[in-house]
Structure 1
């Protein structure tokens, strides 16, 4: 009876976190510390930081994986899946509705001039993401070099396939520096493969089914599942992949640059996981199928982007205690995070290029970055300020 009550309280805490935590993985971790460690004592601070570190070396949304791993630790897979649903539900719902609203505005030929500053503001958010990743994770010359190289490669080779290659190679390079890591006594690793096979089976099955049926919902699920299986570093790194695949990649181009940047800015102003932005893209990708199609698009995008990280954390957490004793595993994190920062830097440049090179756009981007980096102004207030300024200039 006590355990059931505790599970209920934990899920209530998760829902509260989903509607109150802004700012991405770094800020989310502080909220997790305050509620789950200090207030409820579900786990110790050391356990929280260790789980978060584990999630950083896995592909997928770091905050989401950390929270679901805590649910897994407390109550096993069932509680973990309920944790996942409650954590992503508010953000996914709102972003799907935002896409439907954007589609409706365009169909009625209403002016969206009042959103003119949202796009340069979105570039400011991405730039801030690159800044925070680089400042907090890059402390060596090797890291700086890998960050610059990743930025250059992803800028000049704008294809979805360059990202996993850059991340993998960077991780392998710094893994060679394993001797710099302290030694720990190793234990035999016993690996339960069920969740890994589930992850791989869904990946292969979705690709095969999409190729056979050519159905757009299946292909969208495969696209997002593949991206969710390859992304290290959180929502900031997700942005360049999705922009390349859904805006620039010629066979698709489901969204315009303006639609993409407007949606990304909205996602930054919401609490919860930034990965919920995928629902916005999925819904707009199926706008030709009406309201029902957009709802399906938002759902399959969310399912695709969040499932792989969940499967992988369930797979690794079972043998993490043994795996983390290997120095090469810990050393590879340096290269992965450095390359992630480089990808985000390149994405900020790429996202700004479609905008007009006006003093106002440059100023809005820089002001947004400065407010995020050097003040405590709430992200939603920055977005509302941009919308208000655009409205005043358009109508007043």
Structure 2
């Protein structure tokens, strides 16, 4: 069997796990969820990582017998739709999911795609109320999605970019040696939002810090970041702030290391997908990452949660676990149970008051804008085995020591959503 064939069998097996409860208790028809994500192309690794997280969360729900409904206990089933990292393909995959009888779609690894899906779902649900769709977003963090573009049918389970920036600023405010900061990001809505908020918060909280350079680059198309890294080094910046993710982050930090840049990286996603291994020892004490949760959050419940994921996915390259994705599935299961079934309108109304806890982390949906409220953690890269770093990332030998934790109330921010609800 070829490598490609083996991968196909693994994916099919995981999908079937979503349909088959381990204890055989669920009796009803599967509740189908549609994952619309980049499963091929330059960001395929991010899509596959999301799939593993969601599949594992679904296994947990099905292992306890599925979701109780008025028709009996029903298992969850995850189906894959490859958008190839493109907005237009995302819309095509939405149509395919709807045609397949799916009422719950999940997407996150592109705010541009998320914005297009919100618009398309709004129009579809008004036009075809019998086939309504609820959109669960685990990673698209452009603040506009729960502000000006907020929708009754869209629920975001990740902290948006402004919330993450506020958490990073907790460390930037305390960095007394910082005089010059370089801003770099991907040239699309999320990248623009990160740089815009970075400039606003720097001006407010660290007006003494000069912006040494500001750069936007095409998303997913740059193979050689050496010219960008050279600009960063030559700018005299002591630190870089970036919202880059996937290969755009990994290649950037590799290039910075190669040209001898010795400053800090303040990142949204520097804690996974090859970045720690690419940075190596040069990142110790210098690479900062913010997340809803990090493996080294210092609690026994957190450690047990992370260990259980590593037991399920033991390969180092599969080490990409996000607690918010687990909470998303728990919140959906809770909402379906409260609604007594899968009617999208009833489930959406129940999701507005979702309140779930897993591994000691509690998250609650804010009904006013459908922005999930949860704690945030900020970590600094260090060698595994040093104090506060019992776990490394992707077998790299490097992990993130948690240096700041913000409660849900501290991480929350005002919104400008004017929610329009059906009826």
Q: What is the TM-score of this pair, normalised by structure 2? A: 0.29
In proportion to residue count, which structure has more helix? 1
- TM-score for both structures, normalised by structure 1: 0.31
Higher-strand-fraction structure: 2
